[in-house]
Structure 1
Amino acid sequence: MMRNWSVALALSLGGLIGLPASLRGEEPPLRERIAGALRRATDGFRKEVATEGGYLWRYTADLSFREGERPATATMVWVQPPGTPSVGLAYLRAFEATGDPFYRDAAREVAMALVKGQLRSGGWDYLIEFDPKLRARYAYRVDPGPGGKQNVSTLDDNTTQEALRFLMRVDRVLEFQDQAIHEAVEYALGRLIGIQYPNGAWPQRFTDPLDPAKFPVKKASYPDSWSRTYPGKDYKAFYTLNDNAISDTIDVLLEASRVYHDPKYEASAKKGGDFFLLAQMPEPQPAWAQQYDADMHPAWARKFEPPSITGLESQSAIRTLLEIYRETGDAKYLEPIPRALAYLRKSRLPEGRMARFYELKTNTPLYFTKDYQLTESDADMPTHYGFKVGNGLDNIGKLYEQLRTRGPEKQTAEPTNSGARSRSNKPNSEQAEAVANALDSRGLWLTEGRLKTQPPENPSRRQIDTGTFLKNVQILCRYLESSRP
């Protein structure tokens, strides 16, 4: 009898040993707790925060008020980062780190929200509306009927590009078998190529291709004169480097070439690079402007964006030329870089940063006062815009020398996530554990503060911030990758 009891006990203990630590009444190992936190956070964001699979930028803790770049309703989601596609990329990141199809399914849910928000013009607006009555204002590609009048896709602020980048990566993860997602990608890529100007540039916003005869291929040049006061002209058809619109578009097309192995995508990206060659200004300022008119003169955009040479987008133009060279091996994309770097280095501000704007020909740094008067003084600048920007010239110069010396390096398809990963970047266990422990009972991370557009009568001082979600998911994923057995 005693022997039978001993055998039963041994079998029972053996069964317990095979159970997860949490079911044995023990605290699970840290890796198990981190994996559980990542799943709870994803589940909480999907169930508590999502609208039709999409997301905004910030929410009050009780979800009573929400916003993207501006106040939003419960039927809106935001495309412009860090909105819906950014969250989708985080879910793909989690799928890559864990292999758990739960995260792949979460990413597909986000992808379908973007499919429903794709415009007939081919890209995306800053937001997607899901209220049936309000959707009727928009020309959404998947909706029946003639569609509404709002059909303007935007390349501003990486909006259409990030949506397309995410959809391409989901398409690849799903092995190109989801017809709705695959068709949305093909349609968007086709429209991007279709609205490209003869000189290789893109407009900031688009509906249909414009008359190519109105946009002759020319090299950039200085205007005979330019107005110091804002003329208020429509600039959406201008060749636009501002906020990296063209650089982000080229980046997406290069990735499309890697994912789909179709030469037309690389050809379009190279044509975009050819525009950067044409758009480089002649001496004494061999860099780039934020935007150009059809005569290839630097031009006004918004009331605080004058015709000028830009210290920010010029750096992005060089990085893009380096990336095109890396992908194609065509040395013509390296040719403009040495003189551009030499000019930009001479243009550094005394504190080492760059001015966003340099006056044409004189190279005097330009700023604006808070009431938007053009000035050479930085004493009274608006705070909503970067009139002084970072200086990445040393890193750009090193990359140029590396590529010039080693030659091009054809890239493989991108990982599913959008952020570069490094083992040296891995979080320590305390950081990952702190992030995991910070989840509330709903599986959400709360931060202190009020929303930027929150009305005074709303008392909430805690918020759900999408940027925080993205950052914390990265921390948990890096820990899981670095701690694999």
Structure 2
Amino acid sequence: MTASFARLRMRFLIILCLTCFWGTSEQCQSAEITPTDAKQAMKKATHFFTSEVSTNGGYLWRYSEDLSQREGEERASDSRIWVQPPGTPTVGEAFLTAYQKTREPYLLEAAKAAASALVKGQLKSGGWTYYIDFQDRMNTQYRIDGGGPRARNTTTFDDNTSQAALRYLILLDQELKFQDQTIHGAVTYALDAFLKAQFPNGGWPQRYSRFPDPKEFPVLKANYPESWSRTFPKKKYQNYYTFNDNAIADLVDLMFLAHHVYGDSRYRDAALKAGDFIILAQMPEPQPAWSQQYNQKMQPDWARKFEPPAVTGGESQGIIKTLMQIYIYSGEKKYLEPIPSALAYLKKSELPDGRLARFYELKTNRPLYFTKHYQLTFKSDDMPTHYSFIVKSSIDSLDSRYRSLLKASPERLASMRFPTRRVRLTPSLTAKATSAIDSLNARGAWIKQGDIRTAKRENVPVIDTRVFIHNLTNLADFVAAHQRD
């Protein structure tokens, strides 16, 4: 090799490296993996998940690498799947979305299997509880092969459980053009039940086993109790009007989706009625925000032993977002009217570090905390770690969004209701897809170091549904982006 040729070759290699480094790495990386590579990885991972991990088409949260230990929020047997996200509905929706992006038939079959599992776990009360058991059927009133009238039959809206299940079935029903009568029947049965479970004032409970008698739930405005217990009274709270864990926010989104898909005005009316409840539930001065839960007198009350009667800096921020969503869908400005006073109150309630307390004492507005022994206190130096007693403040971004909505035209509001996200081929997406392919093992599993909490095993190899969903989504996006370009 002549010296001049060697210098030319070296110059070419330097230019090539700089080209990849300074902004056109997309071209360099995309040459390393192809849509075919991504499709092969998706198929291999899906085959492993559906044939080895799945139970009757459904999923838990986490598994040991050898699949001998399984858990959702609790330890689970191999006959049990989880409904509460990130369980079966979340995995099913990932399959469905990946199918819609790639049109690979096996993904639709996996999505339908997850839906079938949910249908077999639907309760006679209309919704779902946290898990479904395919072996122990007689202790629960499943609509299909379930127990008798004394068996459990409690639909839960806690932690987006029933909402996520029904949302997924609605989306699949739409994709199947409403031709699968089993899925469509489960959807209509659930929607009818959720409408019946709504209280006269527009709120919903955390969970229910029977529908409310309107005579027992008068429509009242939120008000302060004359006094309240500083010690946990151990009362049932499941039929309280509940904002905790975004229960009503998830139901509002669900009802708007149902109206969008089926065109039935009952679902839109239910969402707006929930907005009317939010207006009723705003506390009067000096704390014009919201509580986590209210009793039948529309007064803040205890739920669990670490959830006292209080005004919440946590859920109140989510409620403001929900009001804005209802305005986007309805265009009715009455749903924006509670927001300015709530934002002003929350802003002045921020802690010295700019965050918000989860709970503020009624009327005095002093931040409330709990000790590790669950004693109510004004000090934050001995708090349990399983619950967020101090939360991030998003007041400034909420205020900015509120002001932009005030200026939005009807056309702009309409475009915000069900936005579609265009997938673009970027260096970041290519890197994510490459990582997903490289980290898939010979079995077709994505393994990470994590904990099997219910078995008290820490930092061990686990199969996590969230990792599967994340990687499947990135691979499907990569394929879809190539199809667009």
TM-score for the superposition, normalised by structure 2 = 0.90
- Tell me the equivalent position of 1:22: none
User: Aligned partners of 1:352, 1:391: CA distance in 2, in Å?
Assistant: 7
- Tell me the equivalent position of 1:39: 43
- Tell me the equivalent position of 1:431: 432
User: Aligned partners of 1:72, 1:259: CA distance in 2, in Å?
Assistant: 35
Post-superposition Cα deviations, 1:193-220, rounded to whole Å, max 9, x if no partner, equal 0011000001101111122111100000
Instruction: Go from structure 1 to structure 2 and tell me whether the alpha carbon gap of 1:463 and 1:242 turns closer, same or farther (over 3 Å shift).
Output: same
Q: CA RMSD in A?
A: 2.0
Any conservation in 2 of the 1:82–1:467 contact (CA below 8 Å)? yes
Q: Spell out structure 1 runs of 4+ moving beyond 6 A.
A: none
After TM superposition, the structure 1 = structure 2 runs for residues 276-425 of structure 1, keeping only pairs within 5 Å, are 276-408=278-410, 409-410=413-414, 423=424
Any conservation in 2 of the 1:136–1:147 contact (CA below 8 Å)? no
- Tell me the equivalent position of 1:236: 238
* Aligned counterpart in structure 1 of residue 260 of structure 2, from 258, 267, 284: 258
Q: CA deviation at 1:147?
A: 5.9
After TM superposition, the structure 1 = structure 2 runs for residues 102-251 of structure 1, keeping only pairs within 5 Å, are 102-131=106-135, 134-143=136-145, 146=148, 149-251=151-253
Any conservation in 1 of the 2:64–2:70 contact (CA below 8 Å)? yes
Q: CA deviation at 1:428?
A: 3.6
User: Aligned partners of 1:139, 1:362: CA distance in 2, in Å?
Assistant: 46
Any conservation in 1 of the 2:138–2:146 contact (CA below 8 Å)? no
Q: CA deviation at 1:252?
A: 0.3
Q: CA deviation at 1:395?
A: 2.1
Post-superposition Cα deviations, 1:264-289, rounded to whole Å, max 9, x if no partner, equal 00001100110000000001110000
Q: CA deviation at 1:410?
A: 2.9
Q: CA deviation at 1:431?
A: 2.7
Letter in 1 for 2:183: I
User: Aligned partners of 2:155, 2:106: CA distance in 1, in Å?
Assistant: 32
User: Aligned partners of 1:428, 1:145: CA distance in 2, in Å?
Assistant: 48
Letter in 2 for 1:41: A
- SS of the equivalent of 2:480 reads helix
Instruction: Go from structure 1 to structure 2 and tell me whether the alpha carbon gap of 1:103 and 1:147 turns closer, same or farther (over 3 Å shift).
Output: farther
* Aligned counterpart in structure 2 of residue 92 of structure 1, from 93, 96, 102: 96
- Tell me the equivalent position of 1:48: 52
Any conservation in 2 of the 1:140–1:147 contact (CA below 8 Å)? no
Instruction: Go from structure 1 to structure 2 and tell me whether the alpha carbon gap of 1:237 and 1:144 turns closer, same or farther (over 3 Å shift).
Output: closer
Post-superposition Cα deviations, 1:158-204, rounded to whole Å, max 9, x if no partner, equal 00000000000000000000000001000111001001100000110
- SS of the equivalent of 1:448 reads strand
User: Aligned partners of 1:180, 1:258: CA distance in 2, in Å?
Assistant: 21
Q: CA deviation at 1:407?
A: 3.9
User: Aligned partners of 1:349, 1:478: CA distance in 2, in Å?
Assistant: 41
Answer with 200-209 or 472-481: which moved more. 472-481
Q: CA deviation at 1:255?
A: 0.6
User: Aligned partners of 1:323, 1:32: CA distance in 2, in Å?
Assistant: 40
Structure 1 position 450 matched with structure 2 position 454: no
Q: CA deviation at 1:434?
A: 1.5
- SS of the equivalent of 1:449 reads strand
User: Aligned partners of 1:302, 1:274: CA distance in 2, in Å?
Assistant: 26
User: Aligned partners of 1:158, 1:425: CA distance in 2, in Å?
Assistant: 32
Q: CA deviation at 1:426?
A: 7.3
Q: CA deviation at 1:367?
A: 0.7
- SS of the equivalent of 1:370 reads coil
Answer with 421-430 or 258-267: which moved more. 421-430
Answer with 313-322 or 35-44: which moved more. 35-44
Any conservation in 2 of the 1:138–1:147 contact (CA below 8 Å)? no
Any conservation in 1 of the 2:139–2:147 contact (CA below 8 Å)? no
Instruction: Go from structure 1 to structure 2 and tell me whether the alpha carbon gap of 1:421 and 1:346 turns closer, same or farther (over 3 Å shift).
Output: farther
- Tell me the equivalent position of 1:65: 69
* Aligned counterpart in structure 1 of residue 105 of structure 2, from 101, 104, 113: 101
Letter in 2 for 1:435: A
Instruction: Go from structure 1 to structure 2 and tell me whether the alpha carbon gap of 1:468 and 1:316 turns closer, same or farther (over 3 Å shift).
Output: same
May I ask how many residue pairs the two structures share in their alignment? Answer: 452
Post-superposition Cα deviations, 1:293-341, rounded to whole Å, max 9, x if no partner, equal 0000000000000000111111111111111111111111011111111
Q: CA deviation at 1:482?
A: 2.7
Any conservation in 2 of the 1:95–1:101 contact (CA below 8 Å)? yes
Structure 1 position 82 matched with structure 2 position 86: yes
Any conservation in 1 of the 2:60–2:88 contact (CA below 8 Å)? yes
Letter in 1 for 2:38: I
Any conservation in 2 of the 1:232–1:303 contact (CA below 8 Å)? yes
User: Aligned partners of 1:399, 1:344: CA distance in 2, in Å?
Assistant: 16
Answer with 434-443 or 191-200: which moved more. 434-443
User: Aligned partners of 1:414, 1:67: CA distance in 2, in Å?
Assistant: 34
Letter in 2 for 1:467: R
Any conservation in 2 of the 1:125–1:152 contact (CA below 8 Å)? yes
User: Aligned partners of 1:395, 1:413: CA distance in 2, in Å?
Assistant: 19
Q: CA deviation at 1:30?
A: 2.3
Instruction: Go from structure 1 to structure 2 and tell me whether the alpha carbon gap of 1:249 and 1:428 turns closer, same or farther (over 3 Å shift).
Output: closer
User: Aligned partners of 2:384, 2:54: CA distance in 1, in Å?
Assistant: 34
* Aligned counterpart in structure 1 of residue 34 of structure 2, from 8, 27, 30: 30
Instruction: Go from structure 1 to structure 2 and tell me whether the alpha carbon gap of 1:372 and 1:421 turns closer, same or farther (over 3 Å shift).
Output: farther
User: Aligned partners of 2:174, 2:467: CA distance in 1, in Å?
Assistant: 27
Q: CA deviation at 1:424?
A: 9.0
User: Aligned partners of 1:83, 1:330: CA distance in 2, in Å?
Assistant: 36
Structure 1 position 465 matched with structure 2 position 464: yes
Letter in 2 for 1:100: E
- Tell me the equivalent position of 2:26: none
User: Aligned partners of 2:429, 2:95: CA distance in 1, in Å?
Assistant: 22
Any conservation in 1 of the 2:446–2:468 contact (CA below 8 Å)? yes
- Tell me the equivalent position of 1:479: 478
> What runs of 5+ residues in structure 1 fail to find an aligned partner?
1-26
> What runs of 5+ residues in structure 2 fail to find an aligned partner?
1-30
User: Aligned partners of 2:139, 2:427: CA distance in 1, in Å?
Assistant: 46
- SS of the equivalent of 2:453 reads coil
User: Aligned partners of 2:318, 2:118: CA distance in 1, in Å?
Assistant: 27
Instruction: Go from structure 1 to structure 2 and tell me whether the alpha carbon gap of 1:425 and 1:289 turns closer, same or farther (over 3 Å shift).
Output: farther
User: Aligned partners of 2:419, 2:445: CA distance in 1, in Å?
Assistant: 26
Any conservation in 2 of the 1:426–1:479 contact (CA below 8 Å)? no
Answer with 324-333 or 30-39: which moved more. 30-39
Letter in 1 for 2:257: E
- SS of the equivalent of 2:254 reads helix
